[in-house]
Amino acid sequence: MNRYKISSLTFSLIFMCMLNSSLLGIIFPYILHESKTSFYISLGISFVVGLFLIFIYLRIFNFMPDKDIFKKIEAIFPKWISKCVSFILMMLVFLLTIIIIWRLVTFISSEFLVETPNLFIGLLIAAPLLYASTTDFDVIGRLATFCLAVAFLLLVFNVVSLFSQVDMNNLKPLLNFDLMHTGKSVLVFTFIVLVPAFLTLVIPKDNVTNSNKVTRSILSIYTLEMISIFLIFFIIVSVLGINIANIYTFPSYAVLKTLSVLSFIQNTENISILVWVLLMTFAGSFCLLFLKSGLKSLFNFDKKKTQLSSLLFIFLPFLGIVLFMLPYEIYLNKFQYVIVPWAINVSIFVILVLIFVIGKIIFKIKKITV
Amino acid sequence: MKKFLIFICIVFMCTGCWNYKELTELGIISAMAISKRDGNYVIDMQIVNIVEAGDKGVPESPISVMSGEGTTVADAIRSINMKTSKVFFSSNMEYMIIDKSVTNENLKEVLDFLARDTKLSLNFLIVTATNDDPKDVLSALSQFNLNPASNVSELIRRSEGRYGASHSITFKDYLREYLDKGITPVYPNIHLVGSLEEAEDNETLKESDTDDYIEIYNLVAFDKDGNTINIGKDESFGYNFLTNHIKNGSVTSSCGDNHFTVQTLKSKIGFDELKGNKITIKGEVQAEVFFYGCEESLSDTKTLDKLADLTKDTITDYIKKTILLAKESKTDFIGIGNWIYKNETDYFDWDNKDWDTEGLNNIDFDYDIEVSLLKQGNLKGDI
Amino acid sequence: MNTKEIIKYLEDLKKKMPDLIIKDINVGVFKHVYIITNEAVSSGDKVNDFILKHFSGLSIVGSTPLKNLKRDVEDNIPSINFKNVSDRDSLLELLFSGFTIIIYKNEVIAYETRAELDRGVTEPTGEPVIRGPKDSFTENYNKNIGLIRKRIKSEHLCLEELTIGKQTKNKVGIMYMENICEEDIVNQMKDYLGKINIDGVMDVNNFKSFINKENHTLFPTLLYTEKPDDTCRFLLDGRIAVTMENSPSVLIAPTFFVDFFHSSEDYYHKPFFSSFIRLIRFIAYFLAIITPALFIAIITYDQEVLPVSLLINFTVQRSQVPFPAIVEAFILMFTFELLYEGDARTPSTRGTSLSILGALILGDAAVQAGLISPIMVIVVAISAISNLVFIYYDIQGSIRFWRYVLMILSALFGMVGFMCGFILLIINLCTIKTFGKPYLIPLAPFILKDQSNALLRRDLTKINKRPSYLAKKNVVKEVNVK
């Protein structure tokens, strides 16, 4: 499992793809609802807070460079506690995967295939996911390169064609923020966007060639990603207006409905939005690979077949139950589909930081005693 | 793993396709009209008639119009389903007529229905027809275009660019203006010229002296109770100038007994700042001389300045008339309140008071518009 | 080895092999020299001129007795190539390779007198050329190696030989540049070929089933070529070439995805033109795979992409056809596959009737019969024409398979199904590894420095480095451009 080698450029591209995993349908409507036209203030503050989180991530990444996150847990804690911690981490990532796939399936079933039962859409999405999870991380790296090439082209095409419909008056009133709303949106944005990318800790640093360039590439990728997210927000608010953007469940899909180039390329939203399908499938397959490494270190599965079958038997029925029992969005509490992933992401982050801190303490004690 | 993937594939084969729609099942809606009569919503749809290629010599009508009634909008549409075998396909709809009877408190339900539909695009036009029955307007054919709906939508869009006193509004802008504070949307008004029997007969289209049956009349707005506010020609010009929708409008002014026309090239007029209760309207207009019928010679530069002044007075006059109309009818269709909300939010208490009745009348205006005549066409002077 | 035993064995063999000639020459009292040759594979002139003439010249009376056969042959008979034979297996092998066996007093040597049984150096039939050299490989092993060696006149060009096939015993040569190529690749290739244990191989393309078996994919991982200039270009890049006796093509390994879009003619034209043509090939590849699937998805699930006039036009056409779109597409694609296969195998004398029949089915007659619609013919024709851009037969296998998979998925789920099928295709491409290197390099592990010769081609004066993923030893070319 640890025999692959990826370059630092590929590593940062995987990082960038994972940053995009929860945008559609979770981040866009929530931030637009909370901070309305002052979204740029929330984005700016989130950028700075995110830099701080990335700094912590890089410290964990450089600590014990030859071990991935599960082996780090095994080295730090005694045997049974390490198994418990690994298990808890795996359960949280499993729930995160389910939420990402569920969001994707509800998006497809509400906009595209309105009459098909959710179960079959789930099976359709599961086919590339499971195929990708039989392979290794270097395959995921190459898939990330392809995903980002397509995403970049479509983003450029959409932004350029929608630019003629931008109306700067829709961005006003400029400063209608207050501390509570901005604080909420900053916290939610930072954790939901960044923590899935921290799951790349499952790739140990020694498997990355040119590892001295990793810091620089991750920071530049992060900046690039924040700029493109800002651009998308800007286009949504300035083309549609904040009031319309707030009534839609998927505002990034609704803004593409207004695209009209040369009066014959119209209604191409069904083709342009497929990039989100690509990115969310990628995120799902990366999380499944994470679970595969976890299973291997937890139960010492050596054979490929046992790993795969255990993954299959856990993932598929759970996905089926979720899709069957929760077919539509639950608005018990208006934005419950944002609070649940936020809680999961915060717990994952807290566990990662705890592992790092306890690891450092134990190593210092060992150094002092030895 | 391979066997599992093959199993998934076989499962797919057995399932059948739920969203599969053949092209022949589609009923392409090219235009729609919503009105309310006797407490029921009435929906009229103009559906494209695909001529079967069997009998080629028969000139059939390219459209057919169907109506349905129901207590809600959705019920009305479903009642039309009982009359035809087609599945309705609304993504390529060209325009929608919103009748006067719906523009009061029922407008909210109608817009909710339209925004909720997943397949509806946001680019179709909203129009109204105050003098005619919407079904008659939908039934009229056109000699210029086989698809009468695209004829109407192109008519509206082109005249906005050429004439200057009409305005096209897409559904996205309409919804945005409806939801925004301090602005009421404005509709273009279309009008059926001639009689309906001639308009819907394919035979009359073959004669060369028929007029085109659909005509754009003027702009129209509705206040909260559904009363019509007719915006005349001068006021429409003023509206378009203030909201910067003018593209190549022609402004005719008089110099004594004669007239001259200028065509605007670039126009940018807007509200500048709010001091106390006074707003300055500031802007500049660049134009070229289009038609010159005055006595003075154009080779003299002083004449050009004089013409620019006269045009400036005309434009200012138009704007004043528009603002007067808005204040009299107590409906802010220009967007003054919206500008104040976006730029000087604290001026008015938006949550508790109503802008149209309480805020609009207190505002006064200053005018500071500049007009410059850049080109004269082909001639360097005049004949 | 006992002379009498061998002669007795060969006399027995002669009963089932009438083309075996055993000649007995007296050179002295009770001393016989036996000359054995197979007249089918050896050249009678050479045997007569050199061997029989010499031995017949040794008369019985008045000459020194033959002491040492080998010495005698070495001194008197002009030949470059003769071998000592030590056992019966190698004797038979050499006999059937065209050698003449000379036996005297338990000593056996073999002398080369091979007949020319091939067709000479001709133009390549499978890879037509507009500009550039027009010679191609033949079935003669030495001629093939000669065509390569006369282009790379370097002492670093190495050749390693193996024998493969129990009954066929074909000579296989692995050629590589030792100062450029990595040893891992050569060792791995020798491993693969060493494990082959079958009766016989007819052509070097048989090796494809044995090499790179661990990838479950339809994409080709080995390239075969008939042209020596291509082979030399690949050798200078750091690849290895496998050539075999009786085989007019040469296998090149390792091959990557971008190599199937290159052709040797790209280097004989200007760089802008070559980049343009390469881009067209790349677009054609994807057009060939996605066009039918995209069309089916658009007209059955997402009809809003089309403008209204096109929608009405398509509806009128499709209203005459009783089948759903997917069935119509399958019928047309199947007909086209039949046409294509027939065209590949038909001799030119029957080609005209095939094209007339094909035109009937895919043309107006079928449309008027009400079986298919004109737009579907055009879509399938676009896909088929893009297919024909690739003369390399193996890559068409991948196009054809994935085309059908994407068509089925898009007929079931529309654009979403099409996207999922496309993702499956890309994951399949990403998993392939040839000789330890990923298949999609330099596109997927994106290496910026190697983009100058991947999809586009820069000026030859500016490409002064070999591909870094292949030639780790010697990356900088010895280019001296002023």
Give yes or no for A219 touching B (CB within 8 A): no
Chain B CB contacts of C309 below 8 Å: 147
Q: Residues C301, C386: one domain?
A: yes
Judged by average pLDDT, the poorest of B85-99, C292-306, C445-459 is C445-459
Helix (H, G, I), strand (E, B) or coil at C152: coil
Whether A274 and chain C come into contact, CB under 8 Å, resolves to yes
Out of A138, A267, A278, name the one closest to residue C438 (CB): A138
- In this prediction, residue B22 has a pLDDT band, given cuts at 50, 70 and 90, of confident
Residues of chain C contacting residue B119, judged by C-beta atoms under 8 Å apart: 304
Residue of B nearest to A37 (CA): B342
Based on its alpha-carbon atoms, the radius of gyration of chain C, rounded to whole angstroms, reads: 30
Return the CATH number of the domain spanning residue range A8-369. 1.20.1740.10
Interface test with C, best of A264, A269, A271 (most C CBs within 10 A): A271
Residues in a beta bridge with B365: B279
How far is the C-alpha of B136 from the C-alpha of C98, rounded, in Å? Answer: 98
Residues 109-148 of A with CB under 8 A from B: 110-117, 120, 123-124, 126-127, 130-131, 134
Residue A293, amino acid: S
Q: Which CATH architecture describes the domain B243-383?
A: 2-Layer Sandwich (3.30)
Q: Given A113, A139, A271, which is nearest C430 (Cβ)? A: A139
CB B186 within 8 A of CB B239: yes
A308-347 residues touching B, CB cutoff 8 A:
308, 312
Query: Are C108 and C146 found together in one domain?
Result: no
Q: Between these two residues, A232 and B223, which has the higher pLDDT value?
A: A232
SS (H, E, C) A26-93: HHHHHHHHHHHHHHHHHHHHHHHHHHHHHHHHHHHHHCCCCCCHHHHHHHHCCHHHHHHHHHHHHHHH
Sorting pLDDT into bands at 50, 70 and 90, what band is B210?
low
Same domain, C318 and C216: no
Is A93 or B381 the better-scoring residue by pLDDT? Answer: A93
A90 part of contact set with chain B, CB < 8 Å? no
Read off the pLDDT of residues A186-208 as tens digits, 9 standing for 90 and up.
999 999 999 999 999 888 888 88
Residues ≥6 apart with Cβ < 8 Å to A222:
A15, A19, A50, A51, A54
Residue C426 and residue A146: Cβ atoms within 8 Å? yes
Amino acid (one-letter) located at C26: N
CA distance C411 to chain A (A): 13
Q: Which chain B residues are within 8 Å of C368, Cβ to Cβ? A: none
pLDDT digits (tens, 9 = 90+) for A324-356: 666 555 544 567 778 888 999 999 999 999 999
Tell me if A244 and B176 make a contact (CB, 8 A cut-off).
yes
- Give chain A positions within 8 Å (CB) of C427: 128, 131-132, 135, 139, 143
Q: Where along chain B do its domains lie?
A: 26-231, 243-383
Residue ranges per structural domain of chain A: 8-369
pLDDT on residue B11? 63
Q: By percentage, how much of chain B surpasses pLDDT 90?
A: 5
Does residue B298 have a pLDDT over 80? no
Answer yes or no: is C175 within a domain: yes
C431 and C298 housed in the same domain:
yes
Instruction: Say if C452 falls within a structural domain.
Output: no
Does C387 map to a domain? yes
**What pLDDT was estimated at residue A227?**
94
Model confidence at A218, in pLDDT bands (50, 70, 90)? very high
- Which tokens is C475 given? 């990356």
Lowest mean pLDDT among A30-44, A280-294, C62-76: C62-76
Which residues in chain C have their CB less than 8 angstroms from residue B86's CB? none
Confirm or reject contact between C430 and chain A (CB < 8 A). Answer: yes
Query: How much is the ipTM here?
Result: 0.91
CB pair distance less than 8 Å for B24 and C412 = no
Residues C194 and C287 in one domain: no
Select the residue of B22, B91, B147 nearest C324 (Cβ to Cβ): B22
Q: How confident is the model at residue C463 (pLDDT cuts 50, 70, 90)?
A: low
Model confidence pLDDT, tens digit, residues C370-404: 888 889 989 998 998 898 888 777 888 889 889 99
Interface test with A, best of B93, B158, B176, B179 (most A CBs within 10 A): B176
Same domain, C58 and C195: no
**Residue matched to tokens 């067209």:** C280
Q: Is C445 exposed, middle or buried (0-12, 13-18, 19+ CB in 10 A)?
A: buried
Tokens of A217: 């590439």
Alpha-carbon distance A5 to A210, whole Å? 11
Work out the pLDDT band at C65, boundaries 50, 70, 90. low
Residues of chain B neighbouring A114 (CB-CB closer than 8 A) = 19, 118
Residue B54 confidence (pLDDT): 46
Task: Please write the tens of the pLDDT for every residue from B231-266.
Answer: 888 888 888 888 888 888 888 888 878 888 888 888
Structure tokens at B260: 């001259």
Chain C, nearest residue to A266 by Cα: C305
DSSP letter for C127, please: S
pLDDT of residue A1: 46
Total domains, chain C: 3
C-alpha–C-alpha distance, residues A104 and C204, integer Å: 49
CB contact under 8 A, C424 and A141: no
CB B108 within 8 A of CB B49: no
**Contact predicate A137/A6, CB 8 Å:** yes
Measured between alpha carbons, how far is B200 from C467 in angstroms, rounded to an integer?
A: 72
Six-digit token string for A153: 């082209």
The reply to whether C215 and C326 lie within a common domain is no
pLDDT(A15) > 90? yes
Nearest-CA distance A127 → chain B (Å):
7
CB-CB neighbours of A84 under 10 Å: 12
CA proximity to A273, closest of A43, A110, A126? A110
Instruction: Give a yes or no: residue C460 inside a domain.
Output: no
Range of the domain at C36: 3-112
pLDDT at C91: 84
- The residues, any chain, with a CB within 8 Å of residue C110's CB and separated by 6 or more, are C82, C83, C84, C85, C91, C94, C95, C99, C100, C101, C102
Interface test with A, best of C214, C415, C416, C448 (most A CBs within 10 A): C416
DSSP per-residue codes, A279-317: HHHHHHHHHHHHHHHHHHHHH---SHHHHHHHHHHHHHH
Interface test with A, best of B18, B28, B91, B122 (most A CBs within 10 A): B122
State the nearest Cα–Cα gap between C319 and chain B, in angstroms: 6
* Residue with more model confidence, B26 or C473: B26
Does any CB of chain C come closer than 8 Å to the CB of residue A125?
Answer: yes
